[in-house]
Chains A and B, each alone.
Chain A
Amino acid sequence: MNKSAVLASPAESLLGADGVHTSQAALAQHALDGLSPSVVAVPDTSEGVAEVLKWAHKDGLGVVVWGSGSRIGLGARPSRYDIAISLSRLNRIMEHDVENLTLTAQAGVTLLEAARTTVAHNQMLAAGWPWSRRTVGGLISANRPVPKRLLYGSVRDQLLGIRIALAEKGLVGFGGKVLKNVAGYDMTKLVIGSLGSLGVIVEATFKLFAIPHRETYLAAALASPILAASLATRLANGPLRPACLFLLSPLAAERMAKAQKLAGAAREWTLVAGFDGRSEAIRRQIADARALITQAGGDPRPACDTIGEAGGRCLTAEEESPPSVLRLRVGVAPGDVGDTLAYLETESPGDEPIDAVADHPGGAITLLFSLPEHPGESQLTETAGRIERIRAWLDEHAGFAVLEQAPAPYKSRISPWGRSSGAERAMGLIKSRLDPKGILAPGRFPEMNGHLGPLS
């Protein structure tokens, strides 16, 4: 009997037949880095998730959790992969507390579904674009960047409470629906960006914001990434209140121009500043921003009141990347974004234009490399060497580079995480205490290998 058949029976006893998929199509759909699970568990309750984990813990089965799958490529190849838990049926909005400006949703709820609920009361979840099909659980697990972080904060600033299923101990809850909470350790923070390696998020509570009366974007062409970044710093540090500041390489700006008139048609370094607020306030801020841009030698374009889904995808580099694209997330201090982009431009072999988008306030640069999907050895060596050079340069500037997506041959040659943080021991101990048998996202998360010790 194959492993799927062996595992299907206990899984069905926990979730019922409709909560377990073992068809080849379902297993292939949940394949990861060349590995397929033996069963796909699709619980429709939080308790169901907890039951699956208790079973996996007892039998030592490796578990990988799936939200929308948009960033499932983040992380190393699993060292064990028996059960895929899909959260697609945990898709209920539990509470929209309008008076309190909070939303509690199950982990499989998409940002689009959340937006449909909150818009009726002129409120929004600012943790991502309202059109996104990403799930709130995935957003937290992968710690996705917030487009308008400068105004609304990051995921860690917006997440108020969480309910998770632990490998051994079942369901636990931390935080709540209040903004200030110092009762006990802030366990909500631990699961942000943890890729499901400490527990499975089943429910989350976010703070909401009022939908701004107006949002306006202003783009400006500049001669170099250093000038663009310097202007971004001035805009962020002065009296204006931009909601976001993105820097687009000429190649990315060209893509933006095709999707949206905002960036103009020319291949130039482009700064996009977004403003949320009242019309009068925005008009004045746009005028002031224009003056600063001109003063900095930039060429401001006509302001634009909406950028839509296509424009938003360009700004946060969220296009559906074809499988041949290698996606690298670079992190540096915001003040180093300009120098880093300039370095990446000069580092590019043969002066090939770089495809880069930077969220300046977050110091986050997304680099896209279009590569042959089935590379030869020389291509693999060259690409791995290039990533290594970039990481060496970043090391000297206290930065890092994480591989978010890559065709399988590249992923087997390039470490997904790069440098170690220096806090490996503490992280390893937390992992081993909360997931004693290491069944959750086994091998996928950084810092763990070599730091997991037995408990007794």
Chain B
Amino acid sequence: MDLPPPDPKLVARKAEIVTALEEVLPPGTVIHATEELVAYETDGLSAYRRRPMVVVLPRETAEVSATMETLHRLGVPVVPWGAGTGLSGGALPMEDGVTLALSRMNRILEIDLDNRCAVVQPGVTNLRITEAVQGDGFYYAPDPSSQIACSIGGNIAENSGGVHCLKYGVTTNNILGLEVVLADGEIVRVGGKVMDDAGYDLMGVLTGSEGMLAIITEATVRLLPKPESATAVLAVFSSVEAAGQAVADIIGAGMIPAGMEIMDKLAIDASEQYAHSGYPVGAEAILIIEQDGPATEVSYLIARTEEILRAAGASDIRVSRDEAERLKLWAGRKAAFPAMGRISPDYYCIDSTIPRGALPRVLARIRELAQESGLRVANVFHAGDGNLHPLVLYDGNVPGELELAEQLGEEIMKLCVDVGGVLSGEHGIGIEKSGLMTYQFGENDLAAMQRVKCSFDAESLLNPGKVFPELHRCAELGRMHVHGGKLKFPDIERF
């Protein structure tokens, strides 16, 4: 895809912008030398790169507020940056904008086990939260596969998921409160340890808003007591479609396992070469299921799971006998993405979600589409919640392969929407899927979202160019006609 060129007028004001920021921020907070900016050129969607004009690295909320107030006054766009692990290009910088990187805001501020929550700064990594409380028998449930590196602020901005979201929800279900800085620098707190306060659920709409509504500067996250026991089952199937049907059968039987993941032959073989988890090399598909809870409940659930898997045609079933075996069964799944590097120079990860009953036919159609395109597709996905991750394998050095991969990805995403699914389950829209938003949403749906955007950021300075295909000017939504870029009555107050 073509990225829009930077605004030369803004680029020409770089020195002015740097000076204004340095006036309100401590030394060492603003970086603008070319060699320092390289690290911020791309997030996890590495096919696209842009060097930010300036990067700001605040340590405190007040510094974020001062940054936003300054940039708002100067009319400079801002791209929030967590850990740069996002997969949809949501943090792709702007050559005429400032990247606001929150990695230095990385303190755990409070752990409150009586209220089952922790208060953290946005730069704290996902895994650190669990590490901080696991000694007391608690954990933070959403576990994206990048949890060792991704930040909680980024998780909230993208409403991230993970393997265990089937039973315990995605990020939005595990956040109790936020402190955010609005586009003009105002600091606002929503939610917290006290739940269900009157007023609109701003926390809900801010979570997953991809940095387009506000900057997250603090989060109160829910902690869960660790389940008494957990057992994993690995079942081998003769096809991905058969494994998909087994998932639908288990959900249809009313069970909500802690996790249900499918891997196909390509993914199994690559993962096994990489992680040596004892996966059945050559098998067409495996389904990994985890049941957790009180031990007696888990025993029953595992027995019932085995029954359903056998009825669905599983040829081999392995049940973990202890914690080490359980972790080993998961290790291969967690290593699946990095393992792809062994079988393909590049891959393009798709992230659509579909109703679970549609799994078999969608998986079959993806196989057909891959064959038609001539590209290989590996499947590693959160089958329990219908969140597909087809990995389109390509070589970026071969002219035209990236475009072919993107075209195949688009067809798969449209297929998912056609069966009642959505474009993205956990990676976000970013720049990657913004062009497809009109395929999922009607004009009025998008207009309503745009009205929310304008409520928070009337000048469209926060992460512009992401998520929506083409934003109307906020002024247009106020039924003002803008001709030739000129507003009538330019001096009257508007928002």
A in complex with B = yes
Contact residues of A with B, CB < 8 Å?
Answer: 97-102, 122-123, 143, 145, 153-154, 156-157, 166, 169-174, 176-190, 192-194, 198, 209-211, 233, 236-241, 277-278, 280-281, 284-285, 331-335, 362-364, 398-400, 402, 417-418, 421-423, 425-427, 429-434, 445-447, 453, 455-456
Q: Which residues of B contact A177 (CB under 8 A)?
A: 355, 420
Q: Is A184 touching B161 in the complex (CB atoms < 8 A)?
A: no
In the complex, what distance in Å separates the CA atom of A417 from the CA atom of B199?
A: 9
Total interface residues in chain B, CB < 8 Å: 98
Chain B residue numbers with a CB within 8 Å of A174 are 445, 448
* Cβ-defined contact, B196 with A331, below 8 A: yes
Kindly name the residue among A281, A427, A453 whose own CB sees the greatest number of chain B CB atoms within 10 A.
A281
Q: List 7 A–B pairs whose Cβ atoms lie within 8 Å, in order of A's numbering.
A: A177-B355, A180-B425, A182-B425, A182-B428, A185-B205, A209-B256, A446-B199
B114 closest partner in A (C-beta): A335
Do A333 and B194 touch (CB < 8 A)?
yes
Residues of A within 8 A of B207 (CB): 186, 189
Enumerate chain B interface residues (CB-CB to A < 8 A). Answer: 112-116, 137-138, 158-159, 161, 165-166, 169-170, 172-173, 182, 186, 188-190, 192-205, 207-209, 213, 225, 227-228, 248, 251-256, 293-294, 296-297, 300, 353-357, 382, 385-387, 420-429, 433, 437, 440-442, 444-449, 451-456, 467-468, 477-480, 494-495
Measured CA separation A143–B196 after assembly (Å): 8
Once A153-B173, A176-B421, A178-B425 are accepted as A-B contacts, the answer to whether A364 and B196 lie under 8 Å apart by CB is yes
Q: For A241, give its contact among B113, B293, B421, B468 (CB under 8 Å).
A: B293
Q: Which residues of A contact B138 (CB under 8 A)?
A: 237
User: Chain B contacts of A183 at CB under 8 A?
Assistant: 422-424, 429, 433, 437, 440-441
B363 to chain A, nearest CB (A): 15
Contact A99 B248 (CB under 8 A): yes
The answer to whether B448 touches A166, judged by C-beta atoms less than 8 angstroms apart, is: yes
Q: Which residues of A contact B354 (CB under 8 A)?
A: 178
Q: How many A-B residue pairs have CB under 8 A?
A: 282
CA distance A237 to B428 in the complex (A): 33
Contact A157 B169 (CB under 8 A): yes
Q: Which residues of A contact B467 (CB under 8 A)?
A: 184
Partner of A331, one of B194, B208, B427: B194
Would you call B197 and A400 a contact (CB within 8 A)? yes
Question: Could you tell me if B422 and A179 are in contact, using CB atoms closer than 8 angstroms?
Answer: no
One of B197, B426, B468 near A180 (C-beta < 8 A): B426
A338 to chain B, nearest CB (A): 10
> With A123-B254, A241-B294, A280-B296 given, is the CB distance from A182 to B426 under 8 Å?
yes
A230: nearest chain-B partner, CB-CB: B114
Chain A min CB distance to B88 (Å): 9
**6 shortest interchain CB distances as A-B pairs:** A189-B204, A210-B254, A99-B357, A335-B114, A180-B425, A429-B455
What's the dominant secondary structure at chain B's contact region?
Answer: loop
Q: How far is it, in angstroms, between the C-alpha of A335 and the C-alpha of B291 when the chains are bound?
A: 29
**Residue on A with the closest CB to B209?**
A185
Are A178 and B495 also in contact (CB < 8 A) when A334-B114, A423-B202 are? no
Alpha-carbon separation in the docked complex, A6 to B227 (Å)? 63
Q: How far is the CA of A16 from the CA of B373 in the complex (A)?
A: 54
Report whether A426 and B188 are in contact in the complex, using a CB–CB cutoff of 8 Å.
yes
For residue B251, which residue of chain A has the nearest CB?
A101
B469 → A minimal CB distance (Å): 11
Shortest B334–chain A CB gap in Å is 18
Q: Report A-chain residues with C-beta under 8 Å of the C-beta of B455.
A: 426, 429-430, 432-433
A293–B173 alpha-carbon span in the complex (Å):
30
B300 touches A192 (CB 8 A): no
* Residues in chain A near residue B112, CB distance under 8 A: 335
Cross-chain contact A189 with B201 (CB below 8 angstroms): yes
From A164, which residue of chain B is reached at the shortest CB distance?
B448
Which residues does chain B contribute within 8 Å of A399, judged by CB atoms?
A: 194
Contacts of B382 in A (CB 8 A): 180
Q: Measured between C-beta atoms, what is the minimum distance from B258 to chain A in Å?
A: 12
Q: Is the CB of A182 within 8 A of B449?
A: no
Are A434 and B448 CB-contacts (below 8 A) given A178-B355, A189-B172, A453-B495? yes
